[in-house]
Structure 1
Amino acid sequence: MTEQKATAEEQALQTESSQAENAPIESSQPVEQKSNKIRKATNIILIIVSFLFVFHLIADRFIPSTDLGRIRGYVVPISPQVSGEIIEILATPNTFIKAGDVLAKIDTTDYEIALEQAEQSLKKAGQNVGAQTANVAAAQAKVTNAQANYTNAKVQSKRIFTMVEKQVMSQADADNARAELTKAEAGVASAKADLAKAKERLGAEGENNTNVKSALLSLEKAQLNLQRTSITAPTDGVASNFRLKEGIYANAGQPIMTFISSEDVWIEAYFRENSLGNISAGDEVEFALDYAPGEVFKATVGSIDYGIDWGQSEETGKLAQISGQTGWLRQSQRFPVTIVLSKEEAVGLRRVGGQADVIVYTKDNSLINLFGRAWIRVSSWFSYVR
């Protein structure tokens, strides 16, 4: 009995020792499996991050994008050319207006009187040169009107030529402006020819009469001043930022309202310098406006600015100043890129100063462009929340 009991105790001790030896092996298996899962997840994350980094480098060269885009346009202060009391305001703030529409009117009483006086002075000066004086006055009025048309055509053509140089407007627009300018110039020449004939009918004495010449100049000035009592819109656009009221006295040369042209509107997009390598004039562009979330519009690259003001100012007699770099990464420099819009694109949504997301497609790569088109559409929806 004693030997059997001892044998049972030895077997029990061996069983416990075997279980103690196998326990660490069994408990280590879940730990090893958990470690493998973490390692696998880490590798997947590293692969995804590496792919995104490489894709960003490629996309930045072939489909560069920026959210630093601003809608730009010509902002013109409207100033009357004659002084007087404002008797009527026809412009409604922030409402579209056509070129030539009257914005406001100045009291014409004084200028009508001045015109009447000028006409009477001319009649008085022409009493000794016969009944042809009236024809001279009519011819002079035609010259005044033709010169006003020519001046307006000259201003408009100069603006269009400038926009063509910046590639904001097409060469066809420049040709049309040049034709209008030539037509207006011919009109002035024709009116002056008629005036010369009218003066010739007055005879040598009337043509050389100092009083008649002085009266004609006074008449021309009076006619111009009367025309200038109507303040008109220089182009299609919007009158903004004005607080006019009937009865206010307007001084010549002092702005009374701000006019924003809707004809010449473009986007100035600021791209990183290292994103400009493949951008060239004529490249396809898509952009999204914060004012119109969820919508994407098309445009083209007009030009890339060749230089910028980077804040370095050197004075004669002084040494150059070097700005110290802060941080371990150099701040990227941005350059403006002019984005040309067609007249039909985003009509009514192009508010000057508005923000835009812009992407440029530099190559005909359907795959990478597909990612770009998807990204700009996602960005357009971000406008709802930012």
Structure 2
Amino acid sequence: MSDEEKTAPEPSPQAGDGANEQSKIRRITNLILGVVLVLFLFHLIADRLIPSTDLGRVRAFVVPITPQVSGELQAIKIEPNTPLKQGEVLAVINPKDYEIALQQAEQNLKQAGQSLGVQTANVSAAQAKVTNAEANLQNARVQSRRVFAMVERGVMSQADADNARAALTSAEATLASAKADLAKARERLGMEGENNTQVRSALLALEQAQLNLSRTQIVAPSDGVASNFRLKEGVYANAGQPLMTFISSDEVWIEAYFRENSLGNMKPGDRVEFTLDYAPGRVFQGRLGSIDLGVDWGQNEQVGRLAQVSSDTGWLRQSQRFPVTIVLEPSEAYGYRRVGGQADVIVYTGDGMLLNGLGWLWIRLASWASYVR
């Protein structure tokens, strides 16, 4: 062996370790970039095919309960936030003054009839039926308008609309029958009695007295609960001034706010799953009812003022969100549907096994995350 071969330097162990370390860092960096790229692509695809949002709210009809007559509250029949049935008495206004007014109206009608030699009892009974039928018809109209509006929004089914039409038709028929009976009773008065000004005035006063007496009982407009009231017997109730707030439990839906880019594949009837913060760990079912076609974006110009131009531009500008109505079955999430409660929502727009499976897993993880929010 030559002297040069004996004195040649051997490779440094530190140089080899440095190269291996750089190669390892490169691999980790490439792996992280690959994972980020995959997650980014998954987000783009999932946002179109299984869109989700955590901006969901439970919604329902909230109605102020307002007395139509004034008087002292004689009784409070309910406790706050207890389940109620439609027509259940909420409170009673002292009816004494209105009973006296009814008796006076009946006496006035009798006096008017006696002067013409007629019997007024049948007329009074027939008029009471007409008054009751008119009140029922008015209630049927209000309920049917509400149902038709909810059917148009997709919250209620066409069968509900058919039932509302049938109830409205029945109420109209009942009113027509009651008016026919009243006409027959008036015919017994004779032509002079029917056209007599005194009799007609007495009949109108009697109708008003009967209506006012019926209004001394304040009843629930539908199934639901009464909330936001602190009342006790003896408080004076003024007509037109709300006493309490009524929350309907018949018609409850979820209003979810999705990014505009997420709406492309969503359509009414799509299957929906959602969670409620009030029920951590539970997942509920629903269907997509409707998508709002517009929102107020704060750019309504006023006459005499120049147009305002938004400065929010660029690729990463703030996304616009649109309300989407989620329809619930009557029994779905019953007992957990608090108006204003927050919800996480996911919509399945197709039948893809992989994406739907990942969405199924995500919404259940979100439901358990409600424990720590």
Distance of 2:182 and 2:246 partners within structure 1: 37
Query: Who is 2:326 aligned against?
Result: 339
Q: Which moved more, 1:325-334 or 1:60-69?
A: 325-334
Query: Who is 1:282 aligned against?
Result: 269
Q: 1:113 aligns with which of 86, 89, 100?
A: 100
Q: CA deviation at 1:135?
A: 0.9
Contact map agreement 1:61 1:278 (CA 8 A) in 2: yes
Q: Does 1:166 align with 2:170?
A: no
Q: 2:49 aligns with which of 62, 66, 84?
A: 62
Q: 2:113 aligns with which of 114, 126, 150?
A: 126
Distance of 1:378 and 1:56 partners within structure 2: 17
Distance of 2:315 and 2:156 partners within structure 1: 44
1:8-41 alpha-carbon deviations (Å, 9 max, x no partner): xxx9x997x55xx22x522222222222222222
Query: Who is 2:367 aligned against?
Result: 380
Q: Which amino acid aligns with 1:72?
A: R
Larger radius of gyration: 1
Q: CA deviation at 1:148?
A: 1.1
Q: 1:309 aligns with which of 296, 306, 311?
A: 296
TM-score for both structures, normalised by structure 1: 0.93
Count of residue pairs the alignment pairs up: 371
Query: Who is 2:194 aligned against?
Result: 207
TM-score for both structures, normalised by structure 2: 0.96
Q: Which amino acid aligns with 1:35?
A: Q
Task: Report the secondary structure of 1:383's partner residue.
Answer: helix
Query: Who is 1:240 aligned against?
Result: 227
Q: Does 1:371 align with 2:349?
A: no
Alignment of 1:254-269 (within 5 A): 254-269=241-256
Q: 1:144 aligns with which of 122, 131, 136?
A: 131
Q: Which runs of 5+ in 1 are unaligned?
A: 1-10
Q: CA deviation at 1:75?
A: 0.7
1:230-259 alpha-carbon deviations (Å, 9 max, x no partner): 000111111011111111000000001001
Distance of 2:151 and 2:326 partners within structure 1: 13
Query: Who is 1:34 aligned against?
Result: 21
Q: CA deviation at 1:315?
A: 2.1
Q: Which amino acid aligns with 1:66?
A: T
Q: Which moved more, 1:347-356 or 1:325-334?
A: 325-334
Q: Supply the RMSD in Å over aligned alpha carbons.
A: 1.6
Q: CA deviation at 1:319?
A: 2.3
1:200-252 alpha-carbon deviations (Å, 9 max, x no partner): 11122211221111111111111000000000011111101111111100000
Aligned identity (percent) is 69
1:100-128 alpha-carbon deviations (Å, 9 max, x no partner): 10110000010010011011111111113
Contact map agreement 2:118 2:188 (CA 8 A) in 1: no
Q: CA deviation at 1:317?
A: 3.3
Q: 1:154 aligns with which of 117, 121, 141?
A: 141
Distance of 1:355 and 1:256 partners within structure 2: 28
